[in-house]
Structure 1
Amino acid sequence: MNPKKLIWQIFPPLLLVFVTAMLLLSALVANRYSRFFVDYVSRELLLRAKVLEPELAKLIEERQWVLLGGIAERLASGGDVRVTLVSLQGEFLADSLGHLSAAEELAGLEEIQRAIQGESLAVQRFGFTEQREMLYVARPVLIGVHPVGVVRIGVPLDYYTEMLSWTRPAIAGLALGLGLAAALASLLVVRRVSIPLEEIQKQAQAFAQGDLTVRLPGFESLELDRLSRALNLMAKQLEDRFETIDRQKCEQEAIFAGIGEGLLVLDPEGRITNLNPAAMEILSLGDAYKKKLVEIVRNPALETFVQKTLLLETPVTAQIEIYQTDKVVRATGTALTDGKGRQIGVLLALYDLTHLLRLENVRKEFVANVSHELKTPITAIKGFVETLQDGAKDDPAELERFLAIIARQTGRLEMIVEDLLSLARIEQDGFEQAMERERTDLKELCKGALQLCQPNAKAKGISLILEEGEPHKLEINPRLVEQALINLLDNAIKYSGKGKEVRIGWFRSNQNWSLEVKDQGLGIPVEALPRIFERFYRVDKARSGNDLSTGLGLSIVKNIMKLHKGRVEVESQLGKGSSFRLLFPLD
């Protein structure tokens, strides 16, 4: 199908109709003109015959044929008009042409017969006597009411034909001109309709291409104006709906991309059609679009879960271990359906349980460690108390020794409780915001920690050395940072032998200020370094029973540095010692 413009569908038929109508009108006018001419000539001829009727009737009655011929010639007026007089029996009486009509069969002519019967009649036919097209008019000649003969007047139609030869082209030309004028007018009318329609079509194409900001103007035609208003309203509604859809799409994409859970959308064949960054991280995926999940993630449990989700219409939940990333996830699969209820895929939600499980393990380990750390001194205290109750209190030497042990274990309990309270206070919500800060001189801070640890160092024969750096003040909480330094110094003293040195100092490195504690102690195994900041973790568990430390010191140090937006670094070599650095960001 080859569509055409509206103007070429309407204008040619209208032009054809107008031209045809005008041609028919010209033919009708020419016919009416011809009939008018015939009627007019017939009336004139009959009137001329009626004027001479009395004289003709008298001569016919008196049988004055010669005089009748003269009257016939006079009636013909010497022109091309032919006058013939006929008796009631159809016999020739006289003629303006003389006796040429005597040979004609006048009685059989229609106009003669009708005139004999008392009626007037006009006929057109070819005259054999005249050898031309003629108009004959016949009427009876009456005396009173009685006919006595017939007078027939004939006029050649040459003049009429000549008149029509120039009137018909004029009429046809006029009709054609009127038709063309009407066609031009119709063209203008069609253009007045087609131009707005073309404008509407142009704007409709703009709407189809997504440009909904343009608006159609108003039109003079009520129907076109209503159409324009309807299209403008449609464009406004579509624009609003598209804006709503775009906004919802952006919101959904932001939620999809920003949600912590891993989300994947699979088609009915198990191919990935969409996934968010969390899913890519959990499953360690790269370019996975349109790839089957079970082919790029080799995990039997996940494969079984996906197949089960594709088969069932109800949500499916399972806990799956992802070997590629050492993660454990809680997977939930939900079938996706269209408006007709047909399944179009599934949505997989992967919630990473790794951190929670790790926290749960830490919690269990913490409870076990706290129980162990509390049970050891409590068991010792209880045992010595029972020994004293059994009679050892009566021995002054044993009493003194047992009381000293009980006091030492009580001190250990006190240290554990104080460290737990310190750790709980540091980790509680809002502590960082409420923490007071002040500009503190690093030299004074290190000297204060050094002085507090001096008695323990002196008791073990260890030298504490202050290595002064560039004078500087930091915006910190001095009490907490001093506690961190004391914890590091205590550990250094505890694990260093007699005659060793422990150094404390400060310096600027890269984008940080560093407070450093170095010892010449036993050192820490490489495999233990990642865990030394865990609560209650000890490198040498065999010594924990005789160790008065709580196992919380380094964990407290780590949390204090977190409060100051800093971090702790450690370097250690077995048999050579360890170096701990507290790194504070530059002011």
Structure 2
Amino acid sequence: MAKKKRLLWHVFFPYLLIILVSLVAVTLLASNSMKHFFLEKIRTDLQTRALLFENYILEHVDPLDERSIDQLCKKIGPAALTRLTVILPSGRVIGDSEEDPQRMDNHIDRPEIQDAMDKDVGAASRYSPTLGKQLMYVAVPLKRNNRTEAFVRAAIQLDSVDRDIAAIQLEIGISGLVIATLATLLSLLVSHRIRRPIEEIRKGAESFSMGDFQHPFPGSDIKEISDLSETLNTMSEKLQTTLSKITQQRNELGAVVSSMAEGVLAMDMEERILGMNHAAAAILGCDPRQVQGRTIQEVIRHPKLQILVTKALASEEAVERDVVLYAKEERVLNGHATILRDGEGNRVGVLVVLNDITRLRKLENIRKDFVANVSHEIRTPITAIKGFVETLRDGAIHSPQDAERFLGIIQNHVQRLETLVEDLLSLSRIEEETEKEAIVLEEKAIKEVLEGALVLCQAKADSKQIRIELSCGDEVKATVNPSLLEQAVVNLLDNAIQYSEPGKRIWVQGETTPQGVLIRVRDEGCGIEKQHQERLFERFYRVDKARSRKLGGTGLGLAIVKHIMQAHGGHVSVESQLGRGSTFTLHLPKIPRREPSR
């Protein structure tokens, strides 16, 4: 690529070249005109001198006498500073002011003589071998009675003329040089005057390219440059406004995408990652700044997700499928991939939205388990009741002893169904009131709530000689729903009594902490294995199903406790060692906050 020239080369040097060429042309023309003017003036002067000498000869010499003519030439010529020569029509010289006529050549062939024969006047400039100098000659015919008797020729040396012309040409050259110098300085000044605002415009354009629109373009008294500056300033303002809007929209869009709970992942047609939001980075376990420009295969080694992207790129319609990721824990993602298009509708990539549906799947599984468990829990007593009713109808009712035993069994199953229905209704009511925030909370002394729960459980504890010890100060208070909190404590005490051997002890403790209030129920029961502790608070989950049913449990007691605590903005936890008992702790926050039931 050819090297680009600066403005100086495009403006200054062309102008300077034009000026110099013009000056040289003017100088040459002036010199030639001056020389032509001088030569013409000399020719006219020589013609006048020749005519005067002709008249003088006509008046004083008649007929022509060679000696007289030669004497006149030598007398008048030096006085007039002119070489005078008289030449016969034959070409023989009969008089000359500077040479002996006898020694001079025949002049019939001289140009000025030839012209004088034809035009009555002849002129020529040439080198004279006789004198060895450059001369100008003018010849006129000497006529007497319309008959040409001779030719009078006047001549003058051109050396002095050449010197005068050279002096004038020198003056013209010096003047031209001065003018050229002034023109050069003027051209430089004009070029600089034009270049300076253009340079400012260039700097402003560079600022444009770097995103700086605060660089104003200077005005100029040159209309075209001033118009350009105004246009660029207007464009700068419009660009700044447009870019501000685009930046604001981009930031708003970025904030929306970054704040989305769903993972958003964009790729080009070569499956290179263009960008991802924080949710996608968290789901996929990668740094969004380090994955940009890399292919999906390099970043995410998951075949199903790669297949999702490949299918979306090969299809005109959106592609959707569930993907299971295995990291620290199993995560179920719903992937939705669709084609990205530019403003002209061309395919430029694919957009993948990843929705974490792990909790939803767990809830679906819980719902399925719940329906199955409820069906099982209801079907078992109903089947037993149906069987014993049929047995009674088949004749066992006529045996008082069998009838009483069977009716007692039926009564136990009915009571179990009643308890199950009550627990289900209670659980449903707590969830509904929690969602509607309809649970009424009030500041209450925790000791009163615990004492009320102990009263309800005392009879059952006494039947197994189990002693319940309460430790709670009167100053321990919390914002609670007394009846619900009492139900939670009763459920914990009921479990502690059921799973404790006769003669054991149960401790109930309430205390204030910087975070809120803690209520602990500790027993000396059989304890719970670690593997069961995480699922203890699920509906219908039992560590020992056979023993739980034998003891009359529905599997909903601890689930009810969990939902009651969530309604208070708290939670329940368990610590247990096999063979050494369990401790259930209710955590009540200082400022209650409602949490959705799960």
Alpha-carbon contact 2:447-2:474 (below 8 Å) kept:
no
Aligned to 2:33: 32
Aligned to 1:476: 480
Once residues 538 and 270 of structure 1 are traced to their aligned partners in structure 2, the CA distance between those partners, rounded to angstroms, is 49
- Any idea what SS the aligned residue of 1:117 has? helix
The percentage of counterpart residues that share the same residue type is: 39
Distance change >3 Å, CA 473–CA 508, structure 1 → 2: closer
Alpha-carbon contact 1:436-1:477 (below 8 Å) kept:
yes
Once residues 316 and 61 of structure 2 are traced to their aligned partners in structure 1, the CA distance between those partners, rounded to angstroms, is 123
Structural RMSD (CA): 3.8
Alpha-carbon contact 1:95-1:101 (below 8 Å) kept:
no
Alpha-carbon contact 2:135-2:155 (below 8 Å) kept:
yes
Q: What amino acid is the match of 1:92?
A: V
2:555 to 551, 556, 559: 551
Q: What amino acid is the match of 1:322?
A: L
Distance change >3 Å, CA 246–CA 105, structure 1 → 2: same
Aligned to 2:533: 529
Q: What amino acid is the match of 1:573?
A: Q
Distance change >3 Å, CA 525–CA 131, structure 1 → 2: closer
TM-score, normalised to structure 1's length? 0.85
Distance change >3 Å, CA 548–CA 124, structure 1 → 2: same
Once residues 454 and 170 of structure 1 are traced to their aligned partners in structure 2, the CA distance between those partners, rounded to angstroms, is 138
Indicate yes or no: 2:197 matched with 1:199: no
1:458 to 440, 458, 462: 462
Once residues 474 and 145 of structure 1 are traced to their aligned partners in structure 2, the CA distance between those partners, rounded to angstroms, is 158
Indicate yes or no: 2:171 matched with 1:167: no
Once residues 408 and 426 of structure 2 are traced to their aligned partners in structure 1, the CA distance between those partners, rounded to angstroms, is 27
Aligned to 1:568: 572
Once residues 439 and 220 of structure 1 are traced to their aligned partners in structure 2, the CA distance between those partners, rounded to angstroms, is 83
Aligned to 2:181: 180
Q: Deviations over 1:22-58 (max 9, x none)?
A: 2332222222222212222222333344446544335
1:375 to 359, 363, 379: 379
Aligned to 1:137: 138
Q: What amino acid is the match of 1:181?
A: L
Once residues 261 and 42 of structure 1 are traced to their aligned partners in structure 2, the CA distance between those partners, rounded to angstroms, is 109
Aligned to 2:495: 491
Q: Deviations over 1:247-283 (max 9, x none)?
A: 4554555455444444555677766665555445545
Alpha-carbon contact 1:439-1:473 (below 8 Å) kept:
yes
Q: What amino acid is the match of 1:352?
A: D
Indicate yes or no: 2:356 matched with 1:355: no
Distance change >3 Å, CA 303–CA 55, structure 1 → 2: closer
- Any idea what SS the aligned residue of 2:521 has? strand
Once residues 345 and 165 of structure 1 are traced to their aligned partners in structure 2, the CA distance between those partners, rounded to angstroms, is 84
Deviates more, 1:227-236 or 1:289-298: 289-298
Once residues 432 and 154 of structure 1 are traced to their aligned partners in structure 2, the CA distance between those partners, rounded to angstroms, is 136
Indicate yes or no: 2:358 matched with 1:322: no
Deviates more, 1:298-307 or 1:373-382: 298-307
Distance change >3 Å, CA 74–CA 363, structure 1 → 2: same
Distance change >3 Å, CA 120–CA 200, structure 1 → 2: same
Aligned to 2:83: 82
Once residues 292 and 151 of structure 1 are traced to their aligned partners in structure 2, the CA distance between those partners, rounded to angstroms, is 111
The number of residue pairs the alignment matches comes to: 587
Once residues 298 and 129 of structure 2 are traced to their aligned partners in structure 1, the CA distance between those partners, rounded to angstroms, is 112
TM-score, normalised to structure 2's length? 0.84
Aligned to 2:589: 585
Alpha-carbon contact 1:528-1:539 (below 8 Å) kept:
yes
Alpha-carbon contact 1:469-1:505 (below 8 Å) kept:
no
Displacement of 1:514: 0.7
Displacement of 1:366: 0.7
Alpha-carbon contact 1:61-1:148 (below 8 Å) kept:
no
Once residues 422 and 319 of structure 1 are traced to their aligned partners in structure 2, the CA distance between those partners, rounded to angstroms, is 36
Alpha-carbon contact 1:125-1:134 (below 8 Å) kept:
yes
Structure 2 segments unaligned to the other structure (5+ residues):
592-598
Deviates more, 1:55-64 or 1:117-126: 55-64
Once residues 430 and 221 of structure 2 are traced to their aligned partners in structure 1, the CA distance between those partners, rounded to angstroms, is 80
Indicate yes or no: 2:471 matched with 1:467: yes
Aligned to 1:125: 126
Distance change >3 Å, CA 97–CA 574, structure 1 → 2: closer
Once residues 455 and 418 of structure 1 are traced to their aligned partners in structure 2, the CA distance between those partners, rounded to angstroms, is 21
Once residues 177 and 576 of structure 1 are traced to their aligned partners in structure 2, the CA distance between those partners, rounded to angstroms, is 118
Q: Deviations over 1:88-138 (max 9, x none)?
A: 443434444474476232222111222233422322222344442222222
Displacement of 1:295: 6.8
Once residues 30 and 147 of structure 2 are traced to their aligned partners in structure 1, the CA distance between those partners, rounded to angstroms, is 40
Q: What amino acid is the match of 1:141?
A: L
Alpha-carbon contact 1:376-1:545 (below 8 Å) kept:
no
Distance change >3 Å, CA 432–CA 145, structure 1 → 2: farther
Q: What amino acid is the match of 1:357?
A: R
Distance change >3 Å, CA 281–CA 90, structure 1 → 2: closer
Alpha-carbon contact 1:59-1:68 (below 8 Å) kept:
no
Deviates more, 1:560-569 or 1:144-153: 144-153
Indicate yes or no: 2:116 matched with 1:115: yes
Once residues 318 and 270 of structure 1 are traced to their aligned partners in structure 2, the CA distance between those partners, rounded to angstroms, is 18
Once residues 179 and 283 of structure 1 are traced to their aligned partners in structure 2, the CA distance between those partners, rounded to angstroms, is 77
Deviates more, 1:529-538 or 1:158-167: 158-167
Once residues 294 and 9 of structure 2 are traced to their aligned partners in structure 1, the CA distance between those partners, rounded to angstroms, is 55
